[in-house]
Amino acid sequence: MAKAQPQFTCTACGATHRKWAGRCEACGAWNSIIEEAPLSAGPGPRVGKGRSIALTTLADSEAPPPRNTSGMAELDRVLGGGLVAASAILVGGDPGIGKSTLLLQATSAFAAKGLKTLYISGEEAAAQVRLRAARLGLAQAPVQLGAETNLRDILATLDTERPDLVVIDSIQTMWLDSVESAPGSVAQVRAAAHELVSFAKRRGVSVILVGHVTKEGQIAGPRVVEHMVDTVLYFEGERGHQFRILRAVKNRFGPADEIGVFEMTGRGLAEVANPSALFLSERGTPAPGSVVFAGIEGTRPMLTEIQALVAPSPLGTPRRTVVGLDSARLSTILAVLEARCGIPFAGMDVFLNVAGGMRVQEPAADLAVACALLSAREDVALPADTVVFGEISLSGALRPVAQTENRLKEAQKLGFCAAIAPKLAKPADQPGIALKQMPDLAEVVGQVFGAG
C-alpha cells in the first residue's frame, strides 16, 4: 500500500497544501498552516451503478420555510425573520465577545416560545453555565443543559431527545472518535460540523454552532465551516465598548448584511432598538473632524459619527491609522482629495475612527470620511445639525447612493435639519431637511470648507 502523504492545512480557511509555507496562498493568513494526519483511506470506492434521481422544475411552488421567532427582535431580524426549522447556523466571534451569553439568552427566549431547546457546552462545566444563567435571570428557563465534547454521545442524545433547537458551544471543542487529529484541528472541526449539519437536515433540528475566531495557531477558525451552514453570523464589537453587533454575512433564508445591535450590561445583553440615538449619544458640541454619517445597515438606517484627526507628522512615512473603516478606502479618498481638489496630506499623520466601536463598510461613507478629513485639516467644524453621505469616484465626482430617502428620514427623526449629499437624478423630498446637493468633491471643498 502506498504510504499516505502528509497533508498541510490552513487553520484559517481550511485550504490544503502539499508543503508547509509561512503564508497561506488561499487566504493570505500568516502562520496558519499546520501538518495534519492524512485522511484514512476508508472502505474504498463503492462499485456499482448509480440510480437516476427524480428531477423537478423551477416552477414547482414551495411554501416559505416555517419560522420561529424568539421575541428578541434584533436576533430575529438578523436571522431573516426568525429561526428556520432544520437550518444550520454558525455564530462566529472573538473569544470573550459574548457569544455564549447571547446564545444562552437566545435559547431561553426560544424555549419560552415553546421550542424544545438544548444547550451543549463543551467549554464550561454545567455549574458554570448555571451560574451565568442565574446572573442573567434565566435560571428558570426550560432549557436542557449538557456539558459534553464527545460528538458521538451528543448525537445519540439528540436522537433520543429530538429537540427543535440545539446550540453547540463551541464547535472547536467537539471531537469524533473516527477522526485521528486533536479537537480543534481542521479535520475534527470539519467532520464534527458535517455530522451536526447533516443531522440537522435529516432530523429537522435547527443547529447553532459557536465558532471562535482564531488569530493564529493550532485551532481551526469558523471559516472552515462557513460553506457547510445555511447562515453565518458574526458577533463583533470593540473591547472597551459596550456595543455588540450581530452581523449576517451569509443567509440562505434572508438578506445578508443585516445587523442586530446589543449592549453588554451587567445582566447580559440588552437589545438596542434605536442604535442611531445610542451611537450619537456621546457626541458633544461640534468639533473639527467630527461628521455624522447617515448610513444603511442591511434594511435599517443608522447614523454614526466619523472622527478624523490630522496633525503634522514627525515621521518620514506619516501614519495612517483607521479604526472601523477600510484603510484602503482612506488611501483612495486621500488620493482623490490631493489629485482632484489640490489638498495635500503629505507630511501629515491621519487618524480616522468610527465612534462607538461600529464598523462601516458602505461606500456611501466616502463623503463623510472626506468631510471629516477636510474638517480636521482646515480646522472648520461642520454645523451640528448636518448629516453627510455619498460615494466618491476616482474622478472626484459624487455618486448617488441607495435609499437616500430612508437616510434623510432617520436624520430628520433624530433632529438633524441639513444633509450634504450627491446630486440626485430625482429630487428626494424630506420635509425638515435642507438637502445640499453637490456634483463633485471640489464643490464640497469650496462651498462647505471655503478651501481648495
Helix (H, G, I), strand (E, B) or coil at 332: helix
Binding mask 65-94 for ligand TYD (x = CB under 6 A): ----------------------------x-
Out of 67, 130, 135, 320, which residue is the one contacting ligand TYD (CB under 6 A)?
Answer: 135
Residue 247 engages ligand TYD in binding (rule: CB under 6 A): no
β-sheet bridge partners, residue 209: 90, 168
Between residue 331 and residue 390, which ones bind ligand TYD under the rule CB under 6 A?
Answer: none
CB 366 within 8 A of CB 334: no
Provide the minimum distance between the beta carbon of 127 and Mg ion in the complex, in angstroms, as a whole number.
15
The distance of closest approach from Cβ of residue 190 to ligand TYD in the complex, given in angstroms and rounded to an integer, is: 21
Buried b (16+ CB within 10 A) or exposed e, 187-216: bbbbbbbebbbebbeeeebbbbbbbbbbee
- Decide if residue 147 touches ligand TYD (CB under 6 A): no
Strand partners, 265: 268
The closest of 149, 154, 158, 157 to 184, measured between CA atoms, is: 149
Q: Which of 434, 430, 406, 438 is nearest to 418 (CA)?
A: 434
Distance of CA 297 to the CA centre of its chain: 11
Which of 87, 100, 108, 290 is in the footprint of ligand TYD by CB under 6 A? Answer: 100
The CA-CA-CA angle for residues 326, 354, 265, to 5°, reads: 120
**Cα–Cα distance measured from residue 360 to residue 438, given in angstroms and rounded to the nearest whole number:** 22
For ligand TYD (CB under 6 A), the number of binding residues is 15
* Minimum separation from the CB atom of position 118 to Mg ion (A): 16
414 binds, among ligand TYD, Mg ion, none (CB under 5 to 8 A by kind): none
Interacting partner of 185 out of Mg ion, ligand TYD, none (Cβ under 5 to 8 A depending on kind)? none
Options 11, 32, 101, 375; binder of ligand TYD; rule CB under 6 A: 101
Q: Is 132 in the site for ligand TYD (CB under 6 A)?
A: yes
Please report, as residue ranges, which positions from 252 to 291 form the binding site for ligand TYD (by CB under 6 A): 264, 266-268
Binding test (CB under 6 A) with ligand TYD, winner from 14, 80, 82, 98: 98
Strands 398-399 and 348-354: unpaired
Residues that bind ligand TYD (CB under 6 A): 93, 95-101, 132, 135-136, 264, 266-268
